Structure 1
Amino acid sequence: MISNLLRRSRAALAITVATGALIAVASPAQAVAGPPTLAKSAFLMDGTTGATLANKAGDTKLEGASTTKIMTALVVLTSPGIDLNKKVTVQQEYLDYVAREGASTARLKAGATPTVRQLLYGMMLPSGCDAAYALADTFGSGSSRQARILDFIAKMNAKAKTLGMTNTYYDAFDGISQHGNNKITARDLAKLTRAAMKGSTFKSIVKTYSYSTGGTSTSATWTNTNLLITPGHAYQTQGAIGVKTGSGSVAGQCLVFSVTRNGKTIIGVLLNSTDRYPDAIKLTNWALGAPAGAPALQRSATEPIPDVLD
Structure 2
Amino acid sequence: MQTFARLLQSLVAGVLLVAVGQGVAATPAQSEVSWPQLPWTSTEPDGVRASAAALAEGIAGTVLWSRQPNTVVPIASITKVMTALVVVNAGDLERTITVPHESIAYCVRHDGSTAGLAPGEVLTARQLLYAMMLPSGCDATYALAEAFGPGQHGFITKMNDTARQMGLAGTHFTDPSGLPVPNDDSNSSTPADLVALGLRAMSQPVFRDIVGTHSYHLPAGPGNREHHWHTTNLLLGDYPGAVGIKTGYTDAAGTCLLFQTVRAGIPLIGVVLHSSTHGAVAAREDAERMLDWVYGPIFSALPIG
Structure 2-normalised TM-score?
0.80
Paired with 1:153 and 1:10, the residues of 2 have a C-alpha distance of 43
Distance in 1 of aligned mates of 2:233 and 2:40: 33
Q: Distance in 2 between matches of 1:217 and 1:225?
A: 23
CA contact (8 A) 2:38 2:298 kept: no
**1:37-76 superposed matches below 5 A:** 37-76=48-87
Q: How far apart are residue 218 of structure 1 and its match?
A: 5.8
Alpha-carbon deviations, 1:258-310, whole Å to 9, x = none?
Answer: 010011111110001121111111111112227989xxxxxxxxxxxxxxxxx
- 1:156 aligned onto 2:159: yes
**1:156 counterpart letter in structure 2:** M
Q: Deviations over 1:223-243 (max 9, x none)?
A: 00111114xxxxx10000010
Per-residue CA distance 1:111-165 (angstroms, 9 max, x = gap): 1110000000000000000000000000013xxxxxx211110110111111111
Change (3 A) 1:12 1:220: same
Measure, in 2, the Cα distance between the counterparts of 1:164 and 1:126.
Answer: 29
**Deviations 1:76-118 (CA, angstroms, capped at 9, x unpaired):** 1111xx2111100111110111111111001111111100000
The answer to whether the 8 Å contact 2:123/2:224 transfers is no
Quote the residue 2:271 is aligned against.
Answer: 269
Corresponding residue for residue 303 of structure 1: none
Aligned length: 261
The answer on whether the counterparts of 1:107 and 1:218 sit within 8 Å (CA) in structure 2 is no
Task: Quote the offset at 1:34 in angstroms.
Answer: 3.3
SS in structure 2 opposite 1:44?
strand
Q: Is the 8 A contact 2:5 2:38 kept in 1?
A: no
Percent of aligned pairs sharing the same letter: 38
The question of 1:102 aligning with 2:108 is answered no
Partner of 2:25: none
SS of match in other structure, 2:139: helix
CA contact (8 A) 1:107 1:217 kept: no
Structure 2 distance, partners of 1:219, 1:55, is 42
Which ranges of 4 or more aligned residues in structure 1 deviate by more than 6 Å? 6-10, 290-293
Instruction: Give the distance between the partners of 1:219 and 1:45, measured in 2 at CA.
Output: 39
Bigger Rg, which one = 2
Q: What TM-score, normalized by structure 1, do the two folds share?
A: 0.79
Where 1:175 maps in the other structure, the secondary structure is coil
Alignment equivalent of 2:177, drawn from 170, 174, 178:
174
Q: How does 1:1-310 map to 2 (within 5 A)?
A: 3=6, 5=8, 12-13=42-43, 33-79=44-90, 82-141=91-150, 148-176=151-179, 177-179=181-183, 180-215=185-220, 220-230=227-237, 236-274=238-276, 275-289=282-296
Kindly indicate whether the alpha-carbon contact (under 8 Å) linking 1:12 and 1:34 is maintained by their aligned counterparts in 2.
yes
Contact 2:233 2:244 in 1 (8 A): yes
- State the Cα deviation string for residues 23-62 of structure 1 (Å, max 9, x = none): xxxxxxxxxx333410010101111121111100111111
Q: Where in structure 2 are there 5+ consecutive unaligned residues?
A: 10-36, 277-281, 301-305
The RMSD of aligned alpha carbons is 2.3
Residue 229 of structure 1 aligns to a residue in which SS?
A: coil
Q: Which residue of 2 aligns with 1:25?
A: none
Gaps of 5+ in 1: 14-32, 142-147, 231-235, 294-310
Flag the 1:127–1:4 CA change in 2: closer, same or farther, 3 A.
closer
Question: What SS does structure 1 have at the residue aligned with 2:291?
Answer: helix
